[in-house]
């Protein structure tokens, strides 16, 4: 059910709260209807987010970007107010959604900035639809690759399962396995009161400063995944990783300039190992004292990196 416009956590109200004249919109992108929030003028920049978040994760950098660019923060297939079809959650198909959105809005070549799942989709878009992408920025996560098949079921150090960012030897990605299970996560969450405990745990575990994901943001994200269909769709992004890894075997390096920007206390190491072979013009950089949620934890540093790259 669509929240009323007076609801302070509705997409329309959240968009209107941002400086820069942002508005909440929908467009048909091929077979799916996608939601996005748009503001600003100039060269288009598309922002693609990750799990378990929505377009709102970009709120701290959207107004500044909109001073020089036409900014569109997009809810991916399965995310937020976008459609949640039964299938199509492999990143190659989702890349087709982004190309179709660009064509529907007559955007021409765009700058793509992706974080987490959005980074995977952004890279797949540059691979499969190179004419769509002028420049590509990937934040903290690479496209799924063969190395992910070697993830440990048990943490190398038991403390890694709960220690905060900066106090563990490695991040224990237990949810990569849980989200593979079809049907169970949504049933468990429905019976236990929803996604808020998951959102809180991930924010506290993956952020160097969990306060960067404030109470309003946590409420927005928890509500976006409160419906079992939203949980099912978000998990489908993970269930498609095997297909994504297989697809990556046919990838040629992208020719669009590529910025790989990781949080030093996040997933920078994996991203930095993968990125040099992912393109022909690659820059690798890190944000210090930052965990996984770069646009929320260190918006000024992210903006500085993007300004030097996009402009």
What number of residues does the chain have?
311
d(CA 276, CA 178): 30
Q: Which of 35, 69, 128, 292 is catalytic?
A: 292
Identify whether 116 is a catalytic site residue: yes
Q: How far apart are CA 200 and CA 64, in angstroms?
A: 27
What is the spatial distance between Cα 31 and Cα 85, in angstroms, rounded to a whole number? 9
Q: Angle 64-66-69 (CA atoms, 0-180°, nearest 5)?
A: 125
- At 222 the three-state DSSP class reads helix
Q: Pick the closest to residue 149 from 231, 232, 244, 260 (CA basis).
A: 244
Tokens 């968009």 belong to which residue?
15
Helical residues (DSSP H) of 105-195, grouped into ranges = 117-128, 174-178, 184-192
Residues facing residue 27 across a β-bridge? 34
Verify whether residue 292 is a known catalytic residue. Answer: yes
Alpha helices in 10-157 (DSSP H): 11-16, 62-65, 91-104, 117-128
Bond into 52 cis (ω within 30): yes
Cα separation, 273 vs 263, whole angstroms:
14
From 11, 75, 90, 116, active-site residue? 116
Residues classed as catalytic = 116, 292
């Amino acid at each position: 059910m669509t929240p009323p416009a007076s609801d302070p956590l509705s997409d329309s109200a959240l968009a209107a709260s941002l400086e820069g004249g942002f508005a909440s919109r929908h467009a048909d992108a091929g077979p799916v209807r996608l939601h996005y929030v748009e503001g600003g003028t100039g060269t288009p920049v598309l922002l693609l987010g990750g799990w378990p978040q929505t377009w709102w994760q970009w709120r701290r950098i959207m107004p500044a970007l909109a001073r020089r660019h036409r900014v569109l923060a997009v809810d991916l297939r399965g995310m937020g107010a976008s459609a949640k079809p039964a299938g199509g959650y492999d990143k190659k198909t989702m890349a087709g959604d982004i190309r179709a959105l660009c064509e529907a809005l007559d955007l021409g070549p765009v700058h793509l900035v992706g974080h987490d799942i959005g980074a995977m989709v952004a890279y797949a878009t540059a691979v499969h639809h190179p004419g769509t992408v002028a420049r590509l920025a990937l934040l903290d996560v690479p496209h799924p690759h063969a190395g992910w098949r070697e993830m440990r079921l048990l943490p190398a150090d038991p403390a890694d399962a709960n220690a905060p960012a900066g106090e563990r030897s490695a991040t224990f990605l237990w949810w990569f396995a849980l989200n593979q299970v079809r049907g169970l996560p949504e049933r468990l969450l429905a019976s236990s009161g929803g996604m808020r405990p998951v959102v809180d745990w991930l924010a506290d575990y993956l952020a160097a400063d969990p306060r960067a994901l404030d109470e309003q943001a946590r409420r927005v994200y928890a509500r976006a995944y409160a419906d079992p269909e939203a949980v099912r769709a978000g998990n489908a992004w993970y269930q498609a990783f095997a297909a994504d890894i297989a697809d990556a075997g046919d990838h040629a390096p992208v020719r669009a300039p590529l910025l790989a920007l990781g949080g030093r206390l996040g997933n920078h190491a994996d991203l930095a190992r993968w990125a040099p072979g992912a393109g022909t013009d690659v820059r690798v950089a890190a944000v210090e004292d930052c965990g996984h949620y770069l646009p929320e934890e260190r918006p000024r540093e992210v903006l500085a990196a993007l300004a030097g790259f996009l402009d």
